[in-house]
């Protein structure tokens, strides 16, 4: 179910038409659909490293962890916001920094949404195809999203990025951004294992521009009980894994069980209607 999604060429901005094996624009720029089912819409000039974004190991750890349902309350919360604010039967929803596709694929079902998952990591799009081949999975950067202006009902950004002007460009007037960011106490017990000192920062989402109005912002928490395998996956899927010392790594290895705080900020921004 992707008939209302209007993709554009990352090279010239013209509309892309889907053929059997590729997406093609009027200027004959053509993008093959990979064997796994994703398309690569990230031109080299928008690529700032050889393999940008999360690594395969991070993505695999995230998949193992998320598939156990630990973050499903977060997903339910996002779904609730989309149902509440998008007054269309199947909202076109762009998930930016969609990772291995957990939230995108669940949101498709929970909101009857027409979803597109964008991630800068090729491996992320590749893995996402295993979740749902009816979703368009594209390698793309959040700063040049290959979607037509004013074509999306909702943008979701879950522990990823907030790109004000680009989200405003792709959203219809009245469309919403549902953004989830880490709160100040997020994973605090894990941080106490990893670091000698944990500084509590007052975490807030990024400022937003005058194209948007804030509909809601809530700081929410719940606790999850994790065994050693889950803890190691949780560490691997975060940037903390690059910072852990050998000593702390051994400490984590000896931790059989730990209750962890999941603390997130969920905010809903609405694109203002144009006047006149």
Ligand X SMILES: C[S@@+](CC[C@H](N)C(=O)[O-])C[C@H]1O[C@@H](n2cnc3c(N)ncnc32)[C@H](O)[C@@H]1O
Q: Measure the CA–CA gap between 34 and 111, rounded to whole angstroms.
A: 27
Q: Measure the CA–CA gap between 111 and 5, rounded to whole angstroms.
A: 16
CB of 44 to ligand X, least distance (A): 15
CB of 48 to ligand X, least distance (A): 9
183 binds ligand X (CB under 6 A): no
Q: With contacts defined by CB under 6 A, how many residues of the chain interact with ligand X?
A: 19
Q: How far does the chain reach from its first CA to its final CA, in angstroms? A: 34
124 binds ligand X (CB under 6 A): yes
DSSP classification of residue 274? P
For the window 89-108, what string marks contact with ligand X as x by the rule CB under 6 A?
A: --------xxx--xx-----
Among 82, 86, 106, 142, binds ligand X (CB under 6 A): 142
Measured on CA atoms in the order 243, 249, 251, 257, is the torsion positive or negative?
Answer: positive
119 binds ligand X (CB under 6 A): yes
CB of 119 to ligand X, least distance (A): 5
Among 159, 167, 212, 264, binds ligand X (CB under 6 A): 159
Among 5, 16, 53, 175, binds ligand X (CB under 6 A): 53
* Residue positions counted in the chain: 276
Q: How does strand 92-96 pair with strand 39-40?
A: unpaired
CB of 28 to ligand X, least distance (A): 26
141 binds ligand X (CB under 6 A): yes
Among 24, 38, 39, 62, binds ligand X (CB under 6 A): 62
Q: Which is nearer to ligand X, 131 or 271 (CB)?
A: 131
Q: What does the CA dihedral 62, 184, 226, 257 come to, rounded to 10 degrees?
A: 140
Strand order of the sheet with strand 136-139? 39-40, 136-139, 114-119, 92-96, 152-158, 171-182, 257-271, 212-227
126 binds ligand X (CB under 6 A): no
Largest CA distance in the chain: 64
Query: Where do contacts with ligand X occur on this chain (CB under 6 A)?
Result: 53-54, 62, 97-99, 102-103, 118-121, 124, 141-142, 158-161
């Amino acid at each position: 179910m992707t008939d209302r999604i209007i993709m554009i060429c990352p090279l010239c901005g013209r509309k892309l038409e889907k053929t059997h094996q590729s997406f093609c624009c009027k200027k004959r720029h053509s993008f093959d659909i990979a064997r796994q089912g994703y398309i690569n819409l990230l031109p080299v000039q928008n690529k700032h490293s050889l393999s940008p974004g999360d690594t395969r190991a991070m993505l695999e750890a995230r998949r193992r962890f998320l598939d156990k349902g630990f973050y499903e309350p977060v997903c339910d919360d996002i779904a609730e916001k989309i149902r509440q604010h998008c007054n269309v039967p199947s909202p076109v929803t762009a998930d930016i920094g969609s990772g291995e596709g957990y939230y995108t694929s669940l949101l498709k079902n929970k909101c009857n949404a027409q979803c597109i998952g964008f991630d800068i990591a090729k491996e992320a799009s590749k893995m996402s195809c295993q979740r749902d081949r009816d979703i368009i999975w594209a390698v793309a950067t959040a700063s040049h999203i290959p979607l037509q202006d004013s074509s999306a009902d909702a943008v979701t950004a879950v522990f990823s990025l907030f790109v004000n002007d680009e989200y405003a460009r792709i959203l219809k007037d009245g469309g919403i951004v549902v953004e989830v960011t880490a709160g100040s106490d997020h994973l605090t017990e894990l941080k106490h294992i990893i670091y000698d000192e944990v500084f509590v920062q007052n975490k807030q989402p990024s400022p937003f521009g005058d194209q948007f109005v804030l509909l809601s912002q809530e700081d929410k928490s719940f606790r999850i009980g994790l065994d050693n395998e889950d803890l190691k996956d949780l560490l691997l899927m975060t940037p903390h894994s690059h910072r852990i010392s050998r000593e702390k790594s051994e400490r984590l290895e000896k931790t059989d069980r730990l209750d962890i705080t999941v603390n997130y900020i969920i905010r809903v921004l609405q694109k203002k209607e144009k006047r006149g």
